[in-house]
Amino acid sequence: MEKETKAQRVERLKREKDGLDIMDDIRHYCQSGEPVDADTIDRLKWYGMYTHNQHSSPEGRQFFMMRVKVPTGNLTIEQVETIAGISREFARNTADITVRQTIQLHWIEFANVCTVLDRLQAAGLTTQNASGDCPRSIVTCPVAGHAHDELLDVSGIVREVDRYFQGNHEFSNLPRKFKMGISACGRFCTGHEVQDLSFAAHQLQGGRVAFGVHVGGGLGSNQRFATNLGSVDAQQILPVAIACAALFREEGKRDNRSRARLGHLLEDMGADAFRQALQDRSGVEFLPATSPALPDPRQRQHVGIEDAKETGYQHIGTAIVSGRITGEGLATVARIAREAGAATIAFTGWQNLILTRVPRQHVARATQQLEAAGLSVADHSLSARAIACTGLEFCKFAISETKERQAQLIKALQARFPDFKEPLSISLSGCPNGCSHPNVVDLGFVGWKVKVDGELKEGFVLHYGGRLQGDGSRFAVRTNEKIDADQLSEFVIDLIEKYRASEKPSLPDYLQEVYS
């Protein structure tokens, strides 16, 4: 008999047992202490869990990473304390903020999984739908409802869409993952260009707010900017999202995992037929597509101190390099947030963190406390845009370590260029899957083996010049520049020195001249 392909195996597993129906299996393995069987390991993704790589499985012991969903990107202070406690008790103090505004924990032993899931549930949190072939965490503006420059409060819509798909068996067997975004933020902070399906608000003539329906975006090997199919009203977002997920479920390709994302279906059907199918299924008539003016791509996020919509309140954004906050860090942030009277703690798509709606009279002290804890508020030109994927520390696909290297790199750059104020985005991805968006930032370093003195070592390939800017978006250019991972800081310092000695107006301009 011919060997099953990867796609055939995944499709068979999904048919045999739905990824959402494994709670009994999870409880069985928690209690029995038996090693988890291979099929259940694959289905654990529907509960946000992956096994560690060999690198982080000492003596062959099995450890798991676990992704906790954070609907709207906002947690209460109590929820942050719960996660901090779990991190310290069961996850060796790990806690990483991800670009989809979730929290990822590591080093979880299966015997503890049920306790962890129960504690999360008691705090109103879940890992369900955090990964797997289903609708994932919806990215949105972390200060939705309280941003001074937003067109509309979308937090209620995000919750409604999330609740609809959460644990919904009708949509738990999609051909592939399905990533949505919804935002009405004046900064367009959610990167609507690279979601499978996203709704980004703009104002029509006369003041009416409509949402552009952007379909088929993707990153990594599915790199594609979403196609703008038209506009809909706020109350039409849920029916269009349901129609889109159903179309994907029924028509998406299931025979090849690398051609199975929504963008591939859109390409196969053509934009007009796809739009028509969405309209027919949802009963929503789309308005014509418009291209609103977008802010500078480097300003499309919330950092530092910003006024909230409510008079007398401010948001305090702090830059977390690589998103590595730790359990200890979360506990510290929760304490500061509580003392300052913050409403929530929010995670951003740049792996950063915001204390939302802090009464103005407490802002200076809270900022001081955050800075004293090593969480930068004021100096964020480099650190707020420094992101990294899970990397070699835990991920099976990784070639190179990322999070620690990113931290070292930013430290080295801040020491060498204390006056550097150009907002520069730098992403480190451990392999070409590009989980940390290396192709839509200024400088992307993608894990690659490099030869040093005849030996293959951890390294990176330089990508540069990616930008998200609506119709003017472009993916980064991959160069042939291969860098020994241990020389990364020296390489970037040298690059910036040469750029500063040049006449070029920005680093991407300089790189274009050098590498084109």
Helices 488-501 + 507-515 axis angle, to 10 = 100
Nearest CA-CA partner of 290 in 189, 205, 196: 205
398 binds ligand SF4 (CB under 6 A): yes
**Taking a C-beta distance cutoff of 8 angstroms, is the pair 338, 265 a contact?**
no
Name the strands in the sheet holding 344-347, side by side, starting at the edge strand that comes first in the sequence.
Answer: 74-75, 344-347, 353-359, 313-318, 304-307
Q: What are the backbone dihedrals phi and psi of residue 492, each rounded to the nearest 5 degrees, phi first?
A: -70, -35
For 28, the 3-state DSSP assignment is helix
List of E strands, 192-240: 197-203, 209-215, 227-232
For ligand SF4, the closer of residues 135 and 434 by Cβ is 434
Provide φ and ψ at 469, rounded to 5°.
-155, 60
Residue nearer to ligand SF4 on the CB measure, 80 or 441:
441
Q: Which residue has tokens 């299966």? A: 110
Applying CB under 6 A, which of residues 164, 397, 417, 420 lies at the interface with ligand HEM? 397
Best CA proximity match to 319, nearest among 366, 374, 356, 368: 374
With CA atoms as reference, report the closest residue to 50 among 62, 35, 32: 62
Token duo for residue 331: 């506990």
3-class secondary structure for 365-392?
HHHHHHHHCCCECCCCCCHHHEEECCCC
Question: Between 290 and 329, how does the x/- string for binding to ligand HEM read (CB under 6 A)?
Answer: ---------------------------------x------
Which residues are CB-contacts of 8 (< 8 A; sequence separation ≥ 6)? 255
99 binds, among ligand HEM, ligand SF4, none (CB under 5 to 8 A by kind): ligand HEM
What lies within 8 Å, CB to CB, of 35 at 6+ separation is 62
151 lines the binding site for ligand SF4 (CB under 6 A): no
Lay out the site mask for ligand HEM across 151-190 (x = CB under 6 A, - = otherwise). Answer: ----------------------------x-----------
Among 109, 341, 397, 407, binds ligand SF4 (CB under 6 A): 397
By CB under 6 A, residue 236 contacts ligand HEM: no
* Among 86, 395, 424, 511, interactor with ligand SF4 by CB under 6 A: 395
* Residue 435 makes contact with ligand SF4 by CB under 6 A: yes
The helix/strand/coil state of 138 is coil
Phi, psi dihedrals of residue 367, rounded to the nearest 5°: -60, -45
Find which of ligand SF4, ligand HEM, none residue 314 binds, CB within 5 to 8 Å per kind: none
Which 325-354 residues touch ligand HEM, going by CB under 6 A? Answer: 351
> Which of ligand HEM, ligand SF4, none binds 391 (CB below 5-8 Å, type-dependent)?
ligand SF4
**How far apart are CB 67 and ligand SF4 at their closest, in Å?**
11
Residue with tokens 């400088």: 443
**Which of ligand HEM, ligand SF4, none lies near 104, with the C-beta cut-off 5 to 8 A by kind?**
ligand HEM
Among 266, 431, 462, 496, binds ligand SF4 (CB under 6 A): 431
* Binding of residue 99 to ligand SF4 (CB under 6 A): no
Contact 371, 377 (CB under 8 A): yes
Which range binds ligand SF4 by CB under 6 A, 54-62, 195-203, 377-385, 387-395?
A: 387-395
Q: Which of 127, 326, 369, 390 binds ligand SF4 (CB under 6 A)?
A: 390
Judged by CB, which is closer to ligand SF4: 323, or 470?
Answer: 323
The option from ligand SF4, ligand HEM, none interacting with 219 (CB < 5 to 8 A, set by class) reads: ligand HEM
Judged by the rule CB under 6 A, the positions of this chain that interact with ligand HEM are 50, 98-100, 104, 179, 219-221, 323, 351, 389-390, 395-397, 433-436
Judged by the rule CB under 6 A, the positions of this chain that interact with ligand SF4 are 389-391, 395, 397-398, 429-431, 433-435
